[in-house]
């Protein structure tokens, strides 16, 4: 059988994402590209590799079907939120099931990426016309990185997944976690070995694509999760060799010392609310200086390159309601202010669906543990009573789990237009002359979504080495004093504060085996239901957060369709398929 590849050049250059589909044919095909005749050239190889990034676009189009989104809501950073009919948001927060095939779209979209990576790994070495071996190895390394990246998410979400490293259409059983994680680590090791050590800023890697340093960072993330969650000391690869902590330390040190990535001088400059069109109209940032003594300025203003953003999803001005909806930042829309309020009441935060209201105990825990963290805490979380004094609670009269706190990092950010008819638009639309969607709050967000930050690497370095060097670099950037002695508790707090509301916390609390306690702390927190003050009572939903985590170990249900199609090869994960796992609604 020949794998048929469509639309390999259907790419918007600014988005760097490709839309394609696959099919399998038994007959000879004379008119379309197959793996027998495509790719053949270096340019075609680049197109194939670009296609592997397509799931990132699919996730943007439907963020609820992404590991990043689920990790945000499932963690103790945020609650579910949304309206009464947004049951998927609340289900992902509560570790409950919502209907048949709850996460089938994520499963199929992500396996598309795996299969495209498999095809690339099998075919790129046959291409001719590469400018150099470095170019060939870079492209092949990206394929290995992306396969590991996708499997990391699948294994984290479902645990018991089929593991394929071939483009052939084969019905496979569920793989043992040790084998799956061994393949993930092996792919990352291969990516590190293949991709040239070109420093950030050299122009070597296309915008939005992975580099060697991304692979080293993901190696740290994957190793720490696997060894922590499964109580291992090393990882056995498919060839029976081992990757040890010492190996990972070497790679992380290499990333820190040689990658060229660096911390942005002031933490607030990482986030869109400091953009040049908004910063002096937003009361919390107006006239303020950064830790470096300079005026606050968004690091990505006017397409500037962010030296801290190691791996990010890029967006473009080509989004529409057709096949390119994923070219806009759908996460910003989902985490925007719910309720179609006047933009003047919520400035500079734009409208959206109200997903992921910040858990009140994140703010209170942070205030208690680090009272002088007056840059990061309000830089991450909007305290509504303090900042938005005219805010109206109860968005669209059906807001569930609303709190006094919104996350700022992924939020849509507005700016003043000077037009009395439409006085506000997204800063993106104004800055980049995005006139086609300048009044469309659902498509006007196109600032980057950062998936791996250099600060995360510094904190992983401290955790792996048991020292304070990385922690103190991060603290210094936040204007905080250094700590003298390393402890796991100090490291855990630093990661919780520095990386809050970025989708990282979920796997952290799981690998540290503190998830039950951390999640249980959300119960009883003050919330609003339809604008009225209540408490976050969850015991009627599967027994509450801790009970659901204990029942599932933090894994979600394998899609029912996949279990049926497997012919008995797939078994459902523990804690699912019972009445106790079904979410019927908030009340």
Residue 438, pLDDT score? 86
Closest CA relative to residue 345, chosen from 410, 409, 381, 395: 395
- For 173-201, give one letter per residue: b (16+ CB within 10 A) or e: ebbeeeebbbbbbbbbbbbbebbbebebe
Positive or negative CA dihedral for 423, 426, 432, 433?
negative
Closest CA relative to residue 269, chosen from 238, 308, 298: 298
* Orientation of helix 212-229 relative to helix 177-194, angle to 10°: 160
Which tokens sit at 406? 């919104």
SS3 452: strand
Closest CA relative to residue 373, chosen from 478, 491, 263, 492: 478
Instruction: Classify the phi-psi angles of 458: left when phi > 0, otherwise alpha if psi is within -120 to 50, otherwise beta.
Output: alpha
Integer Cα distance of 313 and 68 in angstroms: 12
**How many beta carbons lie within 10 A of that of residue 424, not counting itself?**
21
Integer Cα distance of 97 and 296 in angstroms: 43
Integer Cα distance of 549 and 509 in angstroms: 11
**How many beta carbons lie within 10 A of that of residue 474, not counting itself?**
23
Which tokens sit at 540? 């009627």
Residue 30: phi and psi, rounded to 5, are -105, -5
Residues in the chain predicted with pLDDT less than 70, given as ranges, are 1-33
- CB-side neighbour CA atoms (13 Å) of 315: 28
Length of the chain in terms of residues written: 587
Q: What angle do CA 224, 375, 368 make, to 5 degrees?
A: 75
Closest CA relative to residue 251, chosen from 280, 214, 288: 214
SS3 425: strand
Residue 32, pLDDT score? 64
Distance of alpha carbon 404 from the chain centroid: 24
């Amino acid at each position: 059988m020949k794998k048929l590849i469509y639309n390999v050049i259907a790419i918007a250059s600014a988005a760097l994402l490709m839309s394609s589909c696959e099919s399998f044919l038994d007959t000879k095909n004379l008119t379309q590209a197959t793996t027998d005749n495509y790719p053949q050239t270096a340019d075609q190889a680049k197109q194939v590799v670009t296609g592997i990034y397509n799931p990132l676009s699919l996730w943007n189009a439907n963020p609820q079907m992404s590991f990043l989104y689920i990790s945000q809501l499932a963690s103790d950073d945020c609650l579910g939120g949304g309206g009464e009919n947004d049951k998927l948001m609340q289900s992902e927060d509560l570790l409950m099931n919502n209907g048949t095939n709850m996460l089938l779209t994520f499963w199929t979209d992500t396996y598309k990426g795996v299969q495209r990576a498999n095809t690339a790994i099998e075919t790129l070495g046959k291409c001719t016309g590469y400018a150099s071996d470095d170019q060939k190895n870079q492209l092949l390394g990206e394929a290995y990185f992306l396969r590991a990246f996708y499997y990391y998410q699948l294994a984290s979400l479902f645990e018991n997944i089929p593991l394929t490293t071939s483009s052939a259409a084969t019905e496979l059983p569920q793989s043992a976690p040790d084998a799956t994680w061994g393949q993930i680590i092996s792919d990352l090791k291969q990516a590190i070995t293949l991709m040239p050590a070109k420093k950030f800023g050299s122009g070597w890697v296309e915008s939005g694509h992975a580099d060697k340093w991304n692979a080293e960072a993901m190696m740290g993330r994957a190793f720490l999760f696997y060894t922590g969650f499964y109580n291992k000391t090393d990882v056995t690869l498919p060839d029976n060799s081992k990757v040890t902590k010492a190996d990972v330390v070497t790679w992380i040190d290499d990333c820190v010392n040689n990658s060229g990535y660096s911390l942005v001088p002031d933490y607030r400059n990482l986030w869109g609310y400091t953009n040049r069109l908004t910063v002096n109209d937003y009361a919390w940032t107006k006239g303020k200086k950064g830790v470096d003594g300079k005026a606050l300025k968004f690091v990505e203003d006017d397409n500037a390159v962010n030296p801290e953003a190691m791996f990010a999803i890029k967006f473009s001005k080509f989004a529409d309601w057709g096949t390119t909806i994923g070219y806009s930042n759908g996460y910003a829309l989902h985490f925007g202010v719910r309720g179609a309020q006047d933009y003047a009441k919520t400035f500079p935060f734009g409208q959206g669906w109200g997903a992921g209201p910040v858990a009140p105990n994140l703010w209170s825990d942070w205030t208690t543990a680090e009272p002088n963290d007056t840059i990061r805490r309000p830089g991450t979380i909007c305290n509504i009573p303090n900042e938005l004094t005219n805010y109206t609670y109860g968005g669209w009269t059906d807001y569930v789990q609303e709190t006094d706190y919104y996350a700022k990092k992924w939020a849509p950010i507005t700016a003043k237009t000077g037009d009395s008819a439409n006085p506000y638009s997204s800063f993106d639309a104004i800055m980049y002359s995005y006139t086609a969607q300048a009044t469309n709050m659902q498509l006007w967000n196109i600032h980057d979504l950062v998936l791996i930050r250099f600060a995360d690497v510094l904190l992983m370095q401290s955790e792996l080495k048991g020292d304070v060097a990385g922690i103190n670099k991060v603290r210094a950037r936040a204007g905080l004093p250094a700590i003298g002695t390393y402890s796991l508790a100090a490291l855990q707090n630093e990661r919780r504060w520095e990386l809050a509301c970025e989708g990282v916390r979920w796997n952290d609390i799981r690998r540290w085996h503190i998830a039950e306690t951390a999640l249980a702390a959300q119960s009883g927190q003050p919330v609003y239901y339809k604008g009225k003050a209540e408490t976050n009572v969850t015991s009627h939903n599967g027994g509450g957060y801790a009970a659901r985590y204990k029942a599932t170990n933090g894994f979600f249900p394998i899609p029912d369709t996949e279990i049926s199609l497997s012919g008995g090869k797939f078994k459902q994960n523990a804690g699912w398929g019972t009445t106790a796992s079904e979410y019927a609604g908030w009340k």
